[in-house]
Structure 1
Amino acid sequence: MTEPIILRHDDIAGLLTPADALEVMDGLLSLEADGRIRQPARTNIVYPGGWFRVMPGALLGEDDTYTGLKVMNLSSEGLRYLILLFSGSTGELLALLDAALVTASRTAAMAAAAARRLLGQDRVSIGVFGSGYEAQAQLRALAGALNADSAVVYSPNPAHRSNFSKTMSEELSISVTPVESAQEAAGHPLLVLATKTDKPVLQSHWVAPGTVILSIGSTRPEQREIDTALIERATAIIADHPAQVMTESGDFIAATADNRVSSERLIPLAQLDAHFNKTAESLILYKSTGTSTQDLALAVFLYQKARRERVGESLAQFPWLKSKEV
């Protein structure tokens, strides 16, 4: 019996690179295209002062099946994430993983995978909306996956966008400039939105034809970051999980209520190559709400690497095995 391990935030930070995460997400897209994932609807419980989410899934790999789930809990103190990873063949618990960095990394890597499929290796400048943890992960992933030569960042707090600019310029060795308005950030061929607002920050009339937009905020019904006119105008809408986007993203709930979008317009990212040809005038929107299989795919990678490098704290004989009754 394999003893399960705990991988804490610092363990994961030492094991994971943006390039690793991108490779894992590319592999997951192939697995999904082959029909080898299981991803039931996630459960959301809203209560006064917070919410709780459970995200189960399974990966039917060539060597083994992995099952598991991520749980998230938002309270007045902030957000906590935890992944439980199991072997599908033996039922053994393999690992408990702090999921904060996993979540940011898999979201950023999947957006980068989408951008690379749409933009190739063309030189590109990036407009970033948001200056927090997720926005940093997004720019880090995009700079590694694309031929990015510069970026600008907008967030409503001048100190936050200035700090973001300084930190990311030094880390990525590209020019990252703070700008004073969302409209100023919108004038770039690749836009990435990682916000937590309840009102749209990107207006359709600011966005030129040929732009690719990566929207990874607005993952809950009360959140907004793009206006409904932009959703209606998009040449193509690509989603990591179309059904989930339609029912959980505030932007798409609003667009549905206004009869601006229908589920038939959304193309699963795993099926992108078979469904879409980009032109110079195409306005492309990628929308992500995150999935359990993204979490599990990265958890499997981290678990296997941690075992090889002897990282993590052992949890001997946990949980207790209840034998089958004879």
Structure 2
Amino acid sequence: MTILLDDDDLDRLPAMEMALAAMEEAFLERDQGRLVSPPRFHVPFDTLGNLVFTVGGNLGSNPLAGFRVYNTFHGRADAQLTAIWSAGDGELQGIVVGSRLGQIRTGAIGGVAIRHMSPPSAKVMGIIGSGPQARMQLEAAASVRALEHVRVFSRSEQGRKTFADEMSRALGLRVEATDSAHAAVDGADIVVCATSSPSPVIDAQWLKPGVHVNTLGPKTVDQHELGSDVAERADVIATDSCEQAGSYHAPFFLSGSSSEGRLVELAAIISGKIAVRPSGAETTLFCSVGLAGTEVLLASRLLTAAQAC
């Protein structure tokens, strides 16, 4: 019997815990050549928008195959569908409908980057943005680091105050709304930028040495929430998929800069092939671009867990 899950179903599961484990597995499989993860592709519908597909899965003893599709009609990306098959026998495992799967998956990828790239002793986190993805990034970060103080800034005063109140209660953390981006990131051990801003939201001079930064928002040369100054400060710059970074409709935001050739795969860091903090004081940057196949592995685990409930 095919299982169908929606956002409400995912909210009843320990989804972030499962997602962090699934992403660790996915990146190790990518490093070993067992993750099928081509860049996403867009199917245009004239001026109406696009259907956007990420297709992938994994190889090995229990191979999976599937896809996620969402639309950009009327600027929407919340109406999403993910389908998963057992690649061994072609059986349809199930379908997940809604935006939560993608949010959890991206949050967990950010959490895995924080686990392997940020200072192990990190206590203070600064967040720019107060939307669903900022929430997932904080939930993931709090799962992998013993955070004590979180500061958040977004353009909406009510949005950042609501974020602070709700996430304080949800995670049992001190989450503070600040009046500026500078105040949010000043002295932070970890900084997350999760905005839709087409221009840089922070200045590299605001960041303390040894900080780790995650960027999730726009990352093309014509629209980027981080400037090249942050990349220039970083000793290590990683992404979840160099292929995806190179397939944007416009060049990646580091194209043509002195940092362009320094981009490495997060999978190589997780597998231990690349050392991130040999001296313990390195500044690091993770550019999240969306690694295909990861949502398939996560959806399979969620479907199995839901079936067991």
What's the TM-score, normalizing by structure 1?
0.87
User: Does structure 1 retain, via aligned residues, the 8 Å contact 2:93–2:300?
Assistant: no
> C-alpha distance in 2, partners of 1:220/1:290?
14
Q: Cα 1:213–1:249, aligned 2, differ >3 Å: closer, same or farther? A: farther
Identify the residue that residue 243 of structure 2 maps to in structure 1. Answer: 243
Report what 1:69 is aligned to: 67
Following superposition, the deviation at residue 150 of structure 1 comes to 0.9
Instruction: Give yes or no for contact 1:211–1:283 (8 Å, CA) kept in 2.
Output: yes
Residues 294 and 229 of structure 1: CA distance in aligned 2, closer, same or farther (over 3 Å): same
- Check conservation: 2:211, 2:283, Cα contact below 8 A: yes
Report matched runs for 1:1-326 at 5 Å. 3-46=1-44, 47-62=46-61, 64-76=62-74, 78-79=76-77, 80-119=79-118, 121-187=120-186, 188-218=188-218, 223-248=223-248, 253-257=252-256, 259-262=257-260, 264-272=261-269, 273-278=272-277, 279-309=279-309
Name 1:321's counterpart in structure 2. none
Q: Take 1:51 and 1:224, find their aligned partners in 2: how far apart are those partners?
A: 21
Aligned residues of 1:223 and 1:249 also touching (Cα < 8 A): no
How many angstroms does 1:77 deviate by?
6.6
Q: Secondary structure at the match of 1:128?
A: strand
Q: CA deviation at 1:99?
A: 4.5
Mapped contact 2:68–2:82 kept (Cα < 8 A) = yes
Name the CA shift for 1:49/1:197 in 2 (closer, same or farther; >3 Å). farther
Gaps of 5+ in 1: 310-326
User: Which structure's CA Rg is the greater one?
Assistant: 1
User: What is the CA-CA distance between 1:104 and the residue it aligns to?
Assistant: 1.0
2 CA distance for matches of 1:158 and 1:151? 16
- State the aligned residue count: 303
Per the alignment, do residues 119 and 229 of structure 1 end up closer, same or farther by CA in structure 2, a change over 3 Å counting?
closer
CA contact (8 A) 2:67 2:83 kept: yes
Is the 8 Å Cα contact of residues 120 and 146 (structure 1) preserved in structure 2?
Answer: no
Tell me the secondary structure at the aligned position of residue 71 of structure 1. Answer: strand
Counterpart of 2:57, as a letter, is A
Distance 1:106 1:219 in 2: 19
Distance of aligned partners of 1:8 and 1:277 in 2 relative to their CA distance in 1, 3 Å threshold: closer
Query: SS of 1:307's equivalent?
Result: helix
Moved more, 205-214 or 47-56: 47-56
The root-mean-square deviation of aligned C-alpha atoms, in Å, is 2.0
Gapped runs of 5+ residues in structure 2?
A: none
How far is the alpha carbon of 1:230 from its aligned partner? 1.5
Q: Deviations over 1:122-171 (max 9, x none)?
A: 14100001000110111111112111111000101101001101111111
Letter in 2 for 1:289: V
Q: Percent identity of the aligned residues?
A: 25
1:77–1:283 distance in 2 versus 1, CA, 3 Å: closer
C-alpha contact (below 8 Å) 2:151/2:176 kept by paired residues: yes
